[in-house]
Amino acid sequence: KQEVTQIPAALSVPEGENLVLNCSFTDSAIYNLQWFRQDPGKGLTSLLLIQSSQREQTSGRLNASLDKSSGRSTLYIAASQPGDSATYLCAAGEGPYKYIFGTGTRLKVLA
């Protein structure tokens, strides 16, 4: 059974710092891995999707990497801003349509 873990559970950093959020999964046979952002009381916003054959994806200040063999993905946020404050969720694609989510990392970027 696939299990997804995210470390740390919470993170508070000063504005401008570069930071790394970690995601690990127990079954390396994933179809893809997707990172989401969730603001309090809101739905999920897709950030990056990495297919199983890819090693990384980039969008603006965000870079996500995937290492299937070690069961890890990282989300790198460059030059963090207060507007980046949110919960970040990773989801491992179990089969082509079902995602298994971690419990998220709550990020607070201090001005």
Partner 1 sequence: DTGVSQDPRHKITKRGQNVTFRCDPISEHNRLYWYRQTLGQGPEFLTYFQNEAQLEKSRLLSDRFSAERPKGSFSTLEIQRTEQGDSAMYLCASSLGTGVGNTEAFFGQGTRLTVV
Between strands 86-94 and 98-101, the pairing is antiparallel
Q: Is 104 in the site for partner 1 (CB under 8 A)?
A: yes
Q: Compute the least distance from the CB of residue 61 to partner 1, in Å.
A: 19
Q: Is 49 in the site for partner 1 (CB under 8 A)?
A: yes
- Scanning 12-20, 37-45, 59-67, 71-79 for contacts with partner 1 by CB under 8 A, the matching segment is 37-45
- Scanning 12-20, 39-47, 67-75, 76-84 for contacts with partner 1 by CB under 8 A, the matching segment is 39-47
DSSP letter string over the chain? ---EEEE-SEEEEETT--EEEEEEES----SEEEEEEE-TTS-EEEEEEEETT-SEEEETTEEEEEETTTTEEEEEE-S--GGG-EEEEEEEEETTTEEEE---EEEEEE-
Q: Compute the least distance from the CB of residue 43 to partner 1, in Å.
A: 4
Nearer to partner 1, 14 or 96 (CB): 96
Q: Is 81 in the site for partner 1 (CB under 8 A)?
A: no
